[in-house]
Structure 1
Amino acid sequence: MRKYLKSEFRSVPYFILLLIIAGIVIYVLGAKKEKKIQENDENDLFSLTLGTDWFAQAEHGGFYQAVAAGIYKKYGLNVKIKMGGPQVNGLQLLLADEVQFYMPNSYMMISAAKQKLPLISVAAIFQKDIQVLLAHPHVGNDTMESLKNKPIFISAPTTASIWGFLVGRFGYSDSQKRSYSHSLTPFLQDKNSVQEGLLTSEPYLIEKKYGFKPVTLLLSDYGFSGYGELMTTTLKFEREHPEEVGKFIQASIEGWRNYLENPVLGNDLIKKANPNMTDDLLKFAHNKLISEKILTGEDTNQFGIGAMTDKRWSEFMNMLIKYQVFDENVDYKSIYTLKYLNK
């Protein structure tokens, strides 16, 4: 009897071991099945890539939110986000079909129209361009007019985007331009100098690191009335995939609404893509997007986020013609469509 009990008790660990092994096998098989299901689901989605104009940041928050919250998948899309950077030419990537969407501003798109590039903007996420010029406080550089003849640190992409407007509107000259290599040091060393920047980042960085609030001049407050973050694709892609273009627009707009209300999911994905991004900067940028009504305004009150109108495009083009940036022969109407919007 005692021998039987001993044998019985010795068999218990083996039984438990068998249960553990069986559990592991079931788990592995289940994981493989789940992975296969996920792969099949991915294969059922329409894949496309969005190219951004810089490293991951709050200015792209709605797109990251749409990925993180599964909004794109809900619309039947598998969307990848390809980060931009100082050496990345997003329009070239778009034309080469390495990305299917990019986010230029109105000025860049009218330049594309002049060059007859086969591109088309299908929605305007930013109702205002967030480009700013920054100056030192207490030196008299408090208006756009006062910056004439002052040294301005400006990059080649920004020059292509806004310089013609500044020359035509305020009489700036090419002799003012200084090469900007994404370092604040030259600007900080010369209190009479001016620095390009974005409303949502450089003002925060300067105050945080150097202890003073720069004069921040938002170009849209001075007549630069174009859109920013234009959702733009090629004519070929838009003509071949109108249904998917419409879904991408609506999913992105939903992602942006979601992000403005609660940015946690999008911000987590942004920080994963760009480890240099901080919570404080994301919070600052998110607040600016809301307080300055970058995504909202008169047209969005009627038509919602992403709205574009013929009137706004016409006004912007007429402003550029007035200041002799472009001539009236540019077919600006060829580079945007309203058919996906304002329903």
Structure 2
Amino acid sequence: MKVKKTLIRALAPLLALGLLTAACTGSDDATDEPEFEPISEVSLQLQWFTQAQFAGYYAAQALGFYEDVGLDVEILEGGVDIVPASVLDSGAAEFAVSWVPRGLVPREEGANITNIAQVFQRSATLQVSFVDSGISGVSDLEGRTVGNWGFGNEFELLAGLRKNGLDPDSDVQLVQQNFDMLALIDGQIDAAQAMIYNEYAQVLETENPATGELFQPEDLNVINWNDVGTAMLQDALWADADRLDDDPAYRDAAVRFVEASLRGWIHCRDNPAECVQIVLDNVPTLGESHQTWQMNEISALIWPSPLGAGIMDPDLWAQTVEVATGEGILASAPTDGAYRTDIATEAVANLREAGIDVVGDGWQRVTVELLPGGE
């Protein structure tokens, strides 16, 4: 599939050559030469290891969507010790994927970065318990042992407790949890933190000793912070704010990059099995059934995007900032320029003009069969 506008961009060097030839022959059309040399090579810093959480970017790379807009994109894998916002601010990458709070904290500390596309429209963070624990809502966490990962992942939980009249310091026993669900499965904690696309699936990939079969969704209760009203925005695309203001070529590259990236996510929405295979081709550590589950749930975080994919919902931004300041993540609300919508709006307009669905109202989850260990 070729997008009309992106095809024109891909032909830009030939058009420029034609203009140069016209200038040499005395044509008046020489005044139409571009004012800057387009950027062709950029890198994207991910915030974690290769998995379907980033399938849209891998798809855009593998299927030539970046190439269609004249970009050669290097995808940089993340890890435990990698802070995408810092990599971006240092100039080691042109763009980065980061949760909103994890971008705002470095920004408050002086990194002049800005959110240019809010890809995930919902939070993926849950608090998970077994049905027989009787924890069906936040108020039921009182007096319970509640796991969380720390490292800035706990604030939706803390805000949710306070919103329901519970003091995190005295009404619950908070314990640091490993990035797995073993403490919940072994009964060491009553409720565990989980991402719906990752740790929640890990429980469903584990054998229930009482039945000899895998645990099922009906064995679990889930507190979803989107329903509680303390969810915080997660995966977004970030760029260098100074360069966007001062370098027209960089801003142009940002629009092209967001457009092709969103096209990748749209392709994954409509062709999930193909995108899972693209992720598997990049040798992730998690297996095929787990990646298939993850692809399904990641799409649920993006679609529908009522304002258009990547365009910020100001109410969700305000909620994220309210939790961030209320929990002391940020000293104060971020200054103007922490996010901007012009780049995503332009990218979405290009996709709409090409006849591509950028809202995804008709998307629905599919049923995914998880296998033992996510294989």
Under TM normalisation by the shorter chain, which class is it?
A: 0.7 to 0.9
Give the whole-Å Cα distance in 1 for the aligned partners of 2:86 and 2:67. Answer: 27
1:233 aligns with 2:228: no
Counterpart in the other structure of 1:305: 309
SS at match of 1:103: strand
Q: 1:138 aligns with which of 132, 137, 142?
A: 132
Could you list the per-position Cα deviations for residues 181-225 of structure 1 after superposition, in whole angstroms to 9, with x for gaps in the alignment?
Answer: 324322222264222211112222211213323323222121134
Equivalent pair of 1:128/1:294 in contact (CA under 8 Å): yes
SS at match of 1:341: helix
| TM-score normalised per structure 2 | 0.70
1:251 aligns with 2:245: no
Moved more, 128-137 or 146-155: 146-155
Equivalent pair of 2:50/2:284 in contact (CA under 8 Å): no
Measured after TM superposition, the shift of residue 324 of structure 1 is 5.7
Counterpart in the other structure of 2:168: 173
Could you list the per-position Cα deviations for residues 230-267 of structure 1 after superposition, in whole angstroms to 9, with x for gaps in the alignment?
Answer: 11122234333100011111111111001111134432
1:195 aligns with 2:192: yes
1:67 aligns with 2:61: yes
Larger Rg: 1
AA matched with 1:122: I
Q: Which runs of no fewer than 5 residues in structure 1 stay unpaired? A: 1-43
1:242 aligns with 2:251: yes
AA matched with 1:125: V
Measured after TM superposition, the shift of residue 108 of structure 1 is 2.9
Measured after TM superposition, the shift of residue 69 of structure 1 is 0.4
Give the whole-Å Cα distance in 1 for the aligned partners of 2:59 and 2:261. Answer: 9
**Higher helix residue share:** 1
Equivalent pair of 1:65/1:263 in contact (CA under 8 Å): no
| TM-score normalised per structure 1 | 0.76
AA matched with 1:76: G
Could you list the per-position Cα deviations for residues 8-27 of structure 1 after superposition, in whole angstroms to 9, with x for gaps in the alignment?
Answer: xxxxxxxxxxxxxxxxxxxx
Q: Which runs of no fewer than 5 residues in structure 2 stay unpaired? A: 1-37, 208-213, 350-375
The size of the alignment, in residue pairs, is: 294
Q: Kindly report structure 1 stretches of 4+ aligned residues shifted beyond 6 Å.
A: none
SS at match of 2:309: coil
Measured after TM superposition, the shift of residue 325 of structure 1 is 4.4
Counterpart in the other structure of 1:296: 303
SS at match of 1:228: coil
Measured after TM superposition, the shift of residue 296 of structure 1 is 2.3
Equivalent pair of 2:146/2:191 in contact (CA under 8 Å): yes
Moved more, 137-146 or 273-282: 273-282
1:159 aligns with 2:168: no
Moved more, 134-143 or 274-283: 274-283
Equivalent pair of 1:199/1:218 in contact (CA under 8 Å): no
SS at match of 2:262: helix
Measured after TM superposition, the shift of residue 177 of structure 1 is 3.0
Equivalent pair of 2:155/2:323 in contact (CA under 8 Å): no
1:93 aligns with 2:87: yes
Equivalent pair of 1:108/1:160 in contact (CA under 8 Å): no
